[in-house]
Copies of this chain bind each other. A is one copy, B any other.
């Protein structure tokens, strides 16, 4: 080892789902939206003044913050925006999880949580989901340095009722509690309505799933103004200009296109409900999904085999080679046509 290597921060990086560089792939592996972004975003792109790129973007992202705040009935100073919800969450870990006590999150959950904790050397504990893959609220009642969980949870797709979410928050008013709602638009009640009741609550959402803009990188958080101020202070200690000028413009336009947004979400929900029937008929079981994906296991054929067989047929789903979930597949909801191709392939595979 060379001397300068001694001081390198050693990390086990998060491994994102594969982004295949070939065409003709049915991509159901990273929970992207199968429908294109809102028409108004296209208009914003056409109208965008490229000359402006010579200037720094607005460091406060005011226009985007304002449009999100307005849409959700919050104040501008209750909204933080970042480069996808990953950026927002990474900033949250750095800003709020500075206790000697462990941060708590579920054992089966978004796998980036432990990566951020390791990156920033934050102690953590991971209470186990029960056998139905449900979060057990009581597990989060003990002393801790902060709490974070997704709702619906990923990769299980299971939703927890807002009453239970509130139970966890109520028992944790001395630390910051983060509810990560990347998939909430596909069903269920957001904890956003609790933000004015609990000043230690942050609710994180994203444009990557329900708003079809994974490629643009927009995430945001709701919280009381002191939490948002603390987040902004850390952001301004990291990079003043995280969100570029086109992002701010297209983001605002996407929020304005409410009818399109609701229509897409509705289509995906319908396809998901049909997918539940089809998968069940093929011998799959799964926790009931309220997200844009289904976390399924087959009664006979191992998940890994199905994953590999699908890949051979140019259909990508997500397989996690991890304890307790290594016989499951996370299948994103695509268009009806993509799903038909999936069912046909699965039929071949499970009946082989």
In the assembled complex, the Cα of A16 lies from the Cα of B13 at a distance in Å of: 31
Given contacts A4-B176, A41-B50, contact A94 B27 (CB under 8 A): no
- Residues on B with C-beta less than 8 A from A174 are 3-4
Complex: how many Å from CA A30 to CA B58? Answer: 13
Query: How would residues 1 to 45 of chain A score, 1 for a CB under 8 Å from any chain B CB and 0 otherwise?
Result: 011111111011111100101000001001011111100011001
Q: How far is the CA of A305 from the CA of B242 in the complex (A)?
A: 33
- Structural contact, A217 and B238, CB atoms closer than 8 A: no
Instruction: For A208, list chain B residues within 8 Å (CB).
Output: 56
A237 to B84 CA separation, bound complex (whole angstroms): 14
Given A35-B54, A115-B237, A212-B53, the answer on whether A59 and B95 have CB atoms closer than 8 Å is no
Interface residues of A in 33-88 (CB under 8 A from B): 33-37, 41-42, 45, 48, 50-59, 83-84, 86-87
CB within 8 A of A14: which of B5, B240, B246? B240
B244 x A98 contact (CB < 8 A):
no
Interface of chain A, main secondary structure: loop
Q: Which stretch in A126-134, A228-236, A274-282 binds the other chain? A: A228-236
Q: Are A54 and B83 in contact (CB under 8 A)?
A: no
Cα–Cα, bound, A239→B55 (Å): 25
Number of copies: 2
* Contact in complex: B83, A16 (CB < 8 Å): no
A interface residue count range (under 10 / 10 to 19 / 20 to 34 / 35 or more): 35 or more
Contact present for A240 and B95 (CB under 8 Å): no
Contact A54 B30 (CB under 8 A): no
A226 is an interface residue with CB less than 8 A from chain B: yes
A150 at interface (Cβ–Cβ under 8 A)? Answer: no
Contact between chains at B55 and A11 (CB < 8 Å)? no
Residues in B whose Cβ lies below 8 Å from that of A15:
236
Inter-subunit contact A236/B13 (CB<8 Å): yes
11 A–B pairs (Cβ distance < 8 Å), ordered by A? A6-B99, A13-B233, A14-B237, A14-B240, A41-B53, A45-B48, A53-B215, A86-B240, A90-B238, A216-B245, A244-B247
Query: Closest 9 interchain pairs by CB?
Result: A13-B236, A3-B174, A215-B245, A53-B215, A16-B240, A4-B200, A54-B212, A119-B237, A11-B237
